[in-house]
Amino acid sequence: MFSELVRKYWRLAAAVAATIVFFALLYIWRDILLPFIIGLILAYLLYPLIKWLERHLPRRWGQGRTVFSIIVVSLVVLGLFGFLLSLAITAAISASASFIADLPTYLEQATEYVQEWFRALEAQIPPQFQEYFQQFVEDFQSNLGSTITATLSRVLSTITGSLTLVLGFVSLPIFYFYVLKDSDKLRTGLHSLTPPWAMEHIRNIGMILEGVLGRYIRSVIVLGITVGFLCLVGLLAMRIPYAAALAFFAAFTELIPTIGPWIGGAAGVLVTWAAAPEKIIWVIALYVGIQLLENIFLAPRIQGQFMHINPALILVLLALGAYLAGFWGMLLIVPVTATIVEIYRYVLKVTQGHDSNKEEEKVE
């Protein structure tokens, strides 16, 4: 039965198999391809604006219309984004300077607290075990320096090992420019490399992938805007300095899966610590509350609506993705699942349509 289906729909099976291989290679080479994937996403987002501007430029400019549109749109978007981000960075630097100035005092207080805690704990330990406890404390203090050194060494080795990734990001602007400039030529070239017998299915599956990616990107943007708005309202209500910049930074870091919300929250707490330390507990409660609201309600609801997946299933998928592949699993599990569902529906549509046509021919 299976061999008969493959023989009947071998073109469709080959197209689906090619899609699976494509995703497998994309995951295997994810560290190398990450900058170029980001470039493709940026090009996808800005492409409509660039084409709109290009249509309103004089036709006598020829190819220069495309180049001019890419440069203008990119500079405007980058300038606006850079201005808002600079406000957030300025606030963080100002708060960091104040925090670093008071850091020796904080460290001294923390050291005294730890020493008092150890002395109180030692007083509760029976005399016959105090010698072992003192030895443990001495070993802990002596090993602390080596632990910090080993951690720094691992960080440096990670940075050194990421040279390929750094080079990829260096070449990102050039890659992004040529993708936008030669998008039509690239699309034509990809179609020319596709065998004629697989052209229809590859083109349709490509449209499915583009549709899923577009819906996923829109869901992430809507989620970031929602979180940024909630942060803005909460910070303004508490009269926290740089509220607008911190809210924008929180919205931007939402684009970074898993660790992004923690980065945005840390910036808000740091600025509050330096500017209004008496409100820091309330700011922490605000960020924690927004994060809980996002994880339990907002993310499943928004992603489920855009990806056409039930919010309850979104929660299950995120947990499953984290278990199977950690960070990358949480990032990819929802769009990959939506893609699998869409391709499955397409396969059913093709096979059922083919079978119905056969039955109509028999009746005639």
Q: What tens digit of pLDDT does each residue of 71-87 get?
A: 888 888 888 777 776 76
> Is the pLDDT reported for residue 286 higher than 90?
yes
What is the pLDDT, as a whole number, of residue 225? 92
Q: Which of 62-66, 164-168, 221-225 has the highest mean pLDDT?
A: 221-225
What is the pLDDT, as a whole number, of residue 6? 56
The C-alpha R_g of the chain, in whole angstroms, comes to: 27
What is the pLDDT, as a whole number, of residue 236? 92
Banded model confidence at residue 14, pLDDT cuts 50, 70, 90: confident
Range with lowest mean pLDDT among 92-96, 179-183, 281-285, 345-349: 92-96
Range with lowest mean pLDDT among 55-69, 135-149, 268-282: 135-149
Closest CA to 322 of 312, 333, 308: 333
Is 205 in contact with 17 (CB distance < 8 Å)?
no
Backbone CA torsion sign across 318, 323, 327, 333:
negative
Give the Cα separation of 245 and 243 in Å (integer).
Answer: 6
DSSP per position, 191-241: HHHS-GGGHHHHHHHHHHHHHHHHHHHHHHHHHHHHHHHHHHHHHHHTT-T
Give the Cα separation of 331 and 257 in Å (integer).
Answer: 6
CB atoms closer than 10 angstroms to residue 51? 14
Residue 26 amino acid letter: L
What is the pLDDT, as a whole number, of residue 230? 94
pLDDT tens-digit readout, 157-207: 554 445 555 566 667 777 778 777 777 777 777 767 777 777 788 888 888
Banded model confidence at residue 27, pLDDT cuts 50, 70, 90: confident
What is the pLDDT, as a whole number, of residue 278? 83
What is the pLDDT, as a whole number, of residue 243? 86
Is 53 in contact with 69 (CB distance < 8 Å)?
yes
What is the pLDDT, as a whole number, of residue 159? 47
CB atoms closer than 10 angstroms to residue 276? 15
> Is the pLDDT reported for residue 89 higher than 60?
yes
What is the pLDDT, as a whole number, of residue 114? 64
What is the pLDDT, as a whole number, of residue 140? 60
Of 159 and 60, the one with more pLDDT:
60
DSSP, collapsed to helix, strand or coil, labels residue 364 as coil
Helix, strand, coil in percent for the chain, rounding step 5: 90, 0, 10
What is the pLDDT, as a whole number, of residue 317? 86
What is the pLDDT, as a whole number, of residue 18? 81
Give the Cα separation of 116 and 280 in Å (integer).
Answer: 25
What average pLDDT does range 288-293 have in this prediction? 90
Find the largest Cα–Cα distance for the chain: 99
What average pLDDT does range 292-312 have in this prediction? 87
For helices 64-101 and 243-253, give the axis angle rounded to 10 degrees. Answer: 120
What average pLDDT does range 222-248 have in this prediction? 90
What is the pLDDT, as a whole number, of residue 289? 93
What is the pLDDT, as a whole number, of residue 241? 82
What is the pLDDT, as a whole number, of residue 363? 43
pLDDT tens-digit readout, 103-113: 566 566 666 76
Both tokens of 163, joined, read: 């040279």
What is the pLDDT, as a whole number, of residue 161? 47
